[in-house]
């Protein structure tokens, strides 16, 4: 994929989450069952980093559970970050604006920048275009994770849903064509409080597992949830990989 196409895909999602922040928050007022299942083993004193934290819905859930560790939430949309609950305050809760397409995104994390026992990335990787950029993000995640830490992630599994298939629109709506993007890249529309567009990559289980292997993770668990629309995996750094964490 050419860089200008990749950048256009990133811009589509930046524009969406800035323009439709209020509508998005209105539609996302509870955590999905798959997310709740993924964090059921998360200790209330853990060091947690959430990528794509949005308006802090997961952080608010941790607060209700009595979380007293350290939570850091990153999101590229300031409009979403501005809508987080007022009670989520430092030092337990910290929020930073950071764009995962920026090679230096981890520098936005307040010190100490790690290690984190949990990194959470729910509905994030499918918005990151190209395998190269996904691997770059995951390499940084591995640097931030403790050796026995867990990466919990989810992606949308929408191709078997007749309802979601109706949301797929031609690339021409974004000034692109199918030959310019990667296989399994899609453009989905949004119809709440206006019409918008989002770029999404559809991951089959095998592709997501392959990405884990290339990024030197091993898959601990996998399941579907959220009416079949969410594919969840739990990853841990591969024990066989001699990864140099001192190079942080």
CATH of the domain at 84: 3.40.50.150
Residues of the chain with pLDDT under 70: 239-248
Q: What is the pLDDT of residue 239?
A: 62
Is 186 among the domain residues? no
Gap between the Cα atoms of 239 and 21, Å rounded = 40
Task: With respect to residue 40, please indicate whether it lies within any of the assigned structural domains.
Answer: yes
Which helix (H) or strand (E) is 56 found in, with range? none
Task: Work out the end-to-end distance of the chain between its first and last CA atoms, rounded to an integer number of angstroms.
Answer: 29
Q: How far is CA 133 from CA 201, 211, 238, in A?
A: 13, 11, 20
Q: How many structural domains is the chain composed of?
A: 1
Could you tell me the residue range of the domain that residue 107 belongs to?
A: 3-158+202-236
Length of the chain: 248
The pLDDT assigned to 83 comes to 93
pLDDT of residue 110: 79
Would 142 be classed as within a structural domain?
Answer: yes
Q: Say if 73 falls within a structural domain.
A: yes
pLDDT at 27: 86
């Amino acid at each position: 994929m050419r860089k200008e196409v990749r950048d256009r895909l990133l811009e589509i999602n930046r524009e969406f989450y800035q323009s439709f922040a209020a509508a998005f928050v209105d539609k996302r007022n509870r955590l999905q069952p798959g997310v709740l299942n993924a964090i059921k083993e998360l200790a209330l004193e853990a060091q947690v980093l959430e990528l794509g934290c949005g308006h802090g819905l997961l952080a608010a859930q941790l607060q209700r559970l009595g979380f007293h560790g350290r939570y850091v939430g990153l999101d590229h949309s300031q409009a979403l970050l501005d809508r987080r609950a007022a009670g989520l305050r430092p030092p337990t809760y910290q929020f930073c604006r950071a764009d995962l397409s920026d090679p230096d995104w981890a520098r936005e994390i307040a010190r100490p920048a790690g290690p984190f026992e949990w990194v959470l990335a729910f509905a994030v990787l499918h918005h990151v275009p190209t395998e190269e950029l996904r691997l770059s993000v995951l390499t940084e995640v591995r640097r931030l994770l403790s050796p026995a830490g867990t990466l919990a992630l989810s992606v949308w599994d929408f191709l078997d849903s007749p309802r979601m298939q109706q949301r797929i629109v031609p690339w021409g709506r974004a000034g692109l064509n199918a030959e310019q993007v990667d296989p399994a890249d899609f453009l989905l529309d949004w119809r709440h409080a206006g019409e918008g567009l989002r770029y999404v990559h559809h991951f089959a289980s095998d592709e997501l597992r392959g990405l884990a292997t290339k990024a030197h993770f091993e898959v601990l668990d996998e399941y579907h949830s959220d009416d079949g629309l969410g594919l969840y995996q739990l990853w841990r750094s591969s024990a066989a990989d001699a990864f140099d964490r001192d190079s942080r």
